[in-house]
Every structure is written in C-alpha cells, then in structure tokens.
Amino acid sequence: MSLSMYQASVPVCIHALTALQGVLEKGKAHAAAKGTDEANYLGLRQAPDMLPLATQVRIACDIAKRGVSRLAGVEAPAHEDNEASFDELKARCQSVIDYLKTFKPEQIDGTEDKDILLQTPIGDFPFKGQGFVFGFILANVHFHSTMTYALLRGAGVDLGKGDYLGRS
C-alpha cells in the first residue's frame, strides 16, 4: 500500500488540533475553578527564553495550516496573533480545523517528491514533500501541542495522556 500524503497530514493535524482544544478547555475550567485570570495561564513559560503558552498554540495552528497549504500550492489564511483567552485560542484552532477540512486528497496526494523551500530568519531549509510532512509539519504540531499540555499540567490542570491524545 502506498502512502497517502493527504491521510498522513490533514487528518493527523485535525486530530491534534481537536485534542489541543480539549486541553485548552480544561485549562479554562481550571482557571475558573481557581478564580485565576486566564492571562496568567496564557503567559506560562517552561523557561525564561521559551515562548509562552498562547504562542505555542498559535504556532501549532500556523504550522498545520501553512504546511498543508504549501503542499497544496495555495496561500494560507492569516491570523492576527492577538488571542487573549482560552476561548479565543480554541476558536483559532477551530478556524484552522475548518480550513484543513477544505482540502481534498487530490490536492495533497502525489506531493511526496515536491520541492519545498522553507525560508526562515536563520536560513533556508529545503525539503521534499514527504520529509516536510513527517520531519516538519507533524513534528512541530505535536511539539507545540505537547508544550501547551505540559505548561498547563505543570500549572496543576487535571490533564492526562488521554487528553493529549484526544478521543477519536
């Protein structure tokens, strides 16, 4: 059986972002139960030089939408990066999920060998499509989702592995 680039990317990103919404919902509930301002959670960092929780969520969303868009050869929609609550972060996840659902397999399948050049401030990173999916898109979506989970778990939010993995 051959690899479906669509199946390897779009549904996996949708699943990860859906699970991330659940993690954020538990963060919101915890903040409400403790009477704590949500901003305290959205600014959480594991280390002083680490990006805060809200940015971790934004990056997970951006990697998913921009990555799939690059595979399909289309421009991704922009977000303002101004979310200031758990609900706004969940809405961002949902907008990306809705966007990802617009892609059809024929837009993504067959891109295994597509040349993708990721230009960043620290240099250019050339990929072939399959390496881009597995070594960049999925790795980053899961990394930033994991960081969000870990930051909230470290703040005392009642989260478990099932929350991170999501319920299918």
> What residue segments make up the domains of the chain, in order of their start?
5-165
Is the pLDDT assigned to residue 1 strictly greater than 70? no
What is residue 168's predicted lDDT score, i.e. its pLDDT? 46
Is the pLDDT assigned to residue 167 strictly greater than 80? no
Residue 83 structure tokens? 């979310």
For 5-165, CATH number out of 1.10.287.1770, 3.90.1150.10, 1.10.10.10, 1.20.120.450 equals: 1.20.120.450
What is residue 36's predicted lDDT score, i.e. its pLDDT? 94
Long-range contacts of 3-7 (CB under 8 A, 24+ apart): 3/112, 3/130, 4/105, 4/109, 5/71, 5/108, 5/109, 5/110, 5/111, 5/112, 5/129, 5/130, 5/133, 6/103, 6/104, 6/105, 6/107, 6/108, 6/109, 7/105
Whole-angstrom distance, CA of residue 13 vs CA of residue 17: 6
* C-beta of residue 150 within 8 angstroms of C-beta of residue 46: yes
Is the pLDDT assigned to residue 7 strictly greater than 90? yes
pLDDT above 90 coverage of the chain, percent = 96
Q: Residue length, the chain?
A: 168
What is residue 3's predicted lDDT score, i.e. its pLDDT? 77
Give the pLDDT band (50/70/90) at residue 2. Answer: confident
